[in-house]
């Protein structure tokens, strides 16, 4: 992974505003902390699970979010390699051009998840 301020700006934004918010939402539901009337039934059903089952559900959520982010970034990478009709710019720089594989930037011990997520890399 290359160190690049624009890549890091984007990575931190993605991790904090997508990954961590999704994980936090799952935690809120699993711990019956939401006050939203539309979620009370779901939280009640989740309350029937044991702590170890809830931990497994949270792991599934994290893995699913990480896979979705990976696949989204891979699609952006492929577009950049061919059509280039969708671009993500940070400080007027195309982030795909700054990486040798944008879909891999989240992962590894030095990746975005490890650097910016309050939930760690989950690798």
In a domain, 122, yes or no: no
End-to-end CA distance of the chain: 16
Give the whole-angstrom CA distance, residue 107 versus residue 86: 23
What's the average model confidence in pLDDT over 93-100? 94
Residue 25 CA from chain centroid, whole number: 12
What's the average model confidence in pLDDT over 3-27? 94
> The domain containing residue 18 runs over which residues?
5-116
Number of structural domains the chain divides into: 1
In a domain, 92, yes or no: yes
In a domain, 121, yes or no: no
pTM to 2 decimals?
0.90
Helices (H) and strands (E) in the chain, counts: 5, 2
What's the average model confidence in pLDDT over 26-55? 97
In a domain, 65, yes or no: yes
In a domain, 123, yes or no: no
What pLDDT digit, counting tens, does each position of 44-91 carry?
Answer: 999 999 999 999 999 999 999 999 999 999 999 999 989 989 999 999
């Amino acid at each position: 992974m290359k160190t690049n301020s624009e890549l890091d700006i984007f990575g931190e934004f993605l991790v904090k505003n997508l990954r961590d918010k999704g994980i936090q939402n799952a935690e809120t539901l699993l711990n019956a902390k939401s006050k939203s009337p539309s979620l009370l039934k779901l939280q009640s059903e989740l309350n029937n699970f044991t702590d170890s089952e809830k931990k497994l559900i949270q792991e599934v959520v994290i893995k699913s979010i990480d896979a979705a982010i990976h696949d989204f970034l891979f699609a952006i990478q492929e577009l950049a390699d061919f059509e280039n009709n969708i671009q993500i710019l940070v400080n007027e720089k195309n982030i795909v051009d700054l990486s040798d594989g944008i879909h891999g930037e989240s992962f590894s011990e030095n990746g975005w998840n490890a650097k910016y997520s309050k939930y760690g890399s989950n690798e």
